[in-house]
Chain A
Amino acid sequence: MTAATAGAGLSVRGLVVTYGTVRALRGVDLELAEGEVVGVVGANGAGKSSLLAAVAGLVRPAAGEIEARGRRLDGLDPERVFAHGLCLVPERGRPFSRLTVEENLRAVVVPGRAELRRRMAQAYEIFPALHAVRRQPAETLSGGQRQQLALARALVSQPWLLLLDEPSLGLSPRIVEELFALLPELAARGTSVLVAEQRLHDVLQFADRAYALVHGEVAREVDARADGAEAELLAAYFGPAPAVPGTAR
């Protein structure tokens, strides 16, 4: 799968985001088909967070189009984007620190109380550790628990597209491994995932496709399962690998 079918999935065309005189994104094109897990890799400052923030409605693009399931999203407020079934988990998750775990889940706008309870029960099934601490304020949780809570909170909204901004940031390798293992499972249940990450190698383990962002532009798009995908992305990051003496043909 290399492109979203017309009217389905997410389609970003010529996206430009500026902060004052700084151009964070310089005409980004990106496609995501429903059911896909797509990675966006890049160094600090490459524009990954700006891309996700623009899709989620936190930042108004200076130019370009964002279309999801056939509807234009660029220029909409975050709550309107959310209503179209997209949910962003920002860097470090940002759970509501003074609210309890349960209240964090209850804060999500869901149609109907019974539906909310059902979805909360599902979230606790996926993250059983959260159930044990459900009456604790989020500020008392560990970093891993906070990230789990942020994900659970997003899943309560049952988005068709989950936007994850550097979910591995500040977490131990074991927790990161568990977290990344969850993403293909979510995709199998029908939740598409667009994830921004610096861990290029890890992204290729769970993603269907990946884009390399360099200085606010898409430098490369690869099929994660294709041979040499990692080398291609690395080349986009750092330029072509130097020839090693004796191995050059």
Chain B
Amino acid sequence: MSAFVQSLIDACSLGALYGLEALAVGLLFGVVRVANFALGTVVTTSAYALYAGRDAGLAGAVGLALVVAVVLCLAMERLVFRPLRTAPVATLFIASFAVAFTLEKTLLLAFGPDQRSFVFDRMPSGVVSVGGYYVTRLSLLTIVLVGVLLAALVGLLRGTSFGIRMRAASDDFAMARLVGVRANAVTAGAFAITGVMSVVVALVLSAQVGGVTPSLGTNVIVFALLGAVVGGLDRLGGAATGGFVVGATLSLLSSWLPDRLAGFDVSFLVAVVIALLLLRPGGLVRAGTMKERV
């Protein structure tokens, strides 16, 4: 039992990280109808920015990464997705692949294929004991960071006019424009927020692996996309929940699969995802079915 609780604690950390990335996916899909595969490369680019700013200390590096990630996301919106605003969802998805591969290959040319290692002294390391269970300090930081970011995002989306307009645009983009919501400001805002989220993901991921490679963010975005689809792409709570479920399931599978099946954790995860989609094709989190009343 205690081993299971221990693995659940570990699963929460990975789940929180993937949940955060899935939330970024859901936010963009809600507003711009693009399942943005390039978000993974924004995570990678942010990690390289952390690497580039490592001599300036943790705060300086995070500041640099925030500027780089937000500028990159805004450029992506302005140069690629804004001109394609009226394009079909499939076109946007393919465009996001093109952006992702272009960025990834650019990073490869600039930094080479080898891992660039870096560690911030002020990033937590080691483990702490909580009620007899061991939790790495990095896991705790991940959960706290994701929690703070989620709370800030909920506060923004529910408590501010900009957030409410962003949710309105996510609900019905054309209608939002009809009540004066500026389409460009809302989409640029959504992209910028995903840039900030990507820096948090990059910070945790690079601390986990001790550096950065050109494919650092690829796994995260693949699982975050899976999670967002499982949870319900068009509902923010759904996307985040789906990301958490996928991350936590993956972590549990890697802990509990017998040795001869080790290495097949992703295959089992995909089986779970298919089962969930068959059972709840509209997503794990969805509104109750409502009849139209007159």
Residues of A bordering B, CB below 8 Å: 56-58, 77-79, 82-83, 87-88, 90, 94, 96-99, 103-104, 106-109, 139-144, 153-154, 157, 170-172
B33: Cβ under 8 A from any A Cβ: no
Most chain B beta carbons < 10 A, residue from A97, A107, A109: A107
Q: Contacts A78-B174, A143-B292 hold; do A109 and B167 have CB atoms under 8 A apart? A: no
- Are A87 and B178 within 8 A (Cβ)? yes
Q: Inside 8 A of B181's CB, which chain A residues have their CB? A: 79, 107, 109
A78 adjacent to B167 (CB under 8 Å): no
On whether the beta carbons of B172 and A82 are closer than 8 Å, the reply is no
B171 at the A interface (CB under 8 A): yes
**Would you call A144 and B178 a contact (CB within 8 A)?**
no
Given contacts A58-B174, A107-B181, A142-B294, 7 further A-B contacts (CB under 8 A): A79-B181, A99-B167, A107-B176, A108-B179, A108-B180, A170-B294, A171-B294
A171 to B293, CA, bound (A): 9
Give, as a whole number of angstroms, the nearest-CB distance from B291 to chain A: 11
Say whether B167 contacts A103, CB under 8 Å.
Answer: yes
* B290 interface neighbour in A99, A140, A172, Cβ under 8 Å: A140
Q: Which residues of A contact B168 (CB under 8 A)?
A: 96, 99, 103-104, 107
CB distance from B238 to the nearest CB of A (A): 11
Q: Which residue of A lies closest to B287 (CB)?
A: A139
Q: How far is the CA of A154 from the CA of B290 in the complex (A)?
A: 25
Give complex CA distance A90, B176 in Å.
12
State whether the Cβ of B105 lies closer than 8 Å to any Cβ in chain A: no
CA distance A107 to B164 in the complex (A): 6
Q: Which residues of B in the span 243-294 have a Cβ within 8 Å of any Cβ on A?
A: 287, 290, 292-294
Number of B residues near A (Cβ < 8 Å) is 23
A96 with B172: CB separation less than 8 A: yes
Contact B171 A98 (CB under 8 A): yes
Asked if A90 and B175 sit within 8 Å, CB to CB, the answer is: yes
Residues in A with CB closer than 8 Å to B180 are: 79, 82-83, 108-109, 157
Determine the distance from Cα of A104 to Cα of B181 in the docked complex, in whole angstroms: 12
Q: Give chain A nearest CB distance to B197 CB in angstroms.
A: 21
B residues near A, CB below 8 A?
A: 161, 164-165, 167-168, 171-172, 174-183, 235, 287, 290, 292-294
| Residue of A79, A143, A157 contacting most chain B CB atoms (<10 Å) | A79
**Nearest CB on B from A96, distance (A):** 4
B178/A143 in contact, CB under 8 A: no
The interface residues of chain B lying within 8 Å CB-to-CB of A106 are 161, 164
In the complex, how many angstroms separate the beta carbon of B149 from the nearest chain A beta carbon? 21
What residues on A are CB-neighbors of B294 within 8 Å?
A: 142-144, 170-172
Q: Complex: how many Å from CA A82 to CA B174?
A: 12
Q: Is the CB of A107 within 8 A of B178?
A: no
In the bound assembly, the distance between CA atoms of A157 and B178 in angstroms comes to 10
Contact assessment for A56 and B178 in the assembled complex, using a CB-CB cutoff below 8 Å: yes
Closest approach, in angstroms, between the C-beta of B226 and any C-beta of chain A?
24
Q: Which residue, of B171, B172, B181, B293, has the highest number of chain A Cβ atoms within 10 A?
A: B171
A106 to B163, CA, bound (A): 10
Please name 12 pairs of A and B residues whose Cβ atoms are closer than 8 Å in the assembled complex, sorted by A: A79-B182, A79-B183, A82-B177, A90-B175, A107-B165, A107-B167, A107-B181, A108-B179, A109-B179, A141-B293, A143-B294, A171-B294
Residues of B within 8 A of A83 (CB): 180
The 9 A-B pairs at the shortest CB distance, nearest first, are namely A109-B180, A107-B168, A78-B177, A143-B294, A96-B171, A82-B180, A142-B293, A108-B179, A96-B168
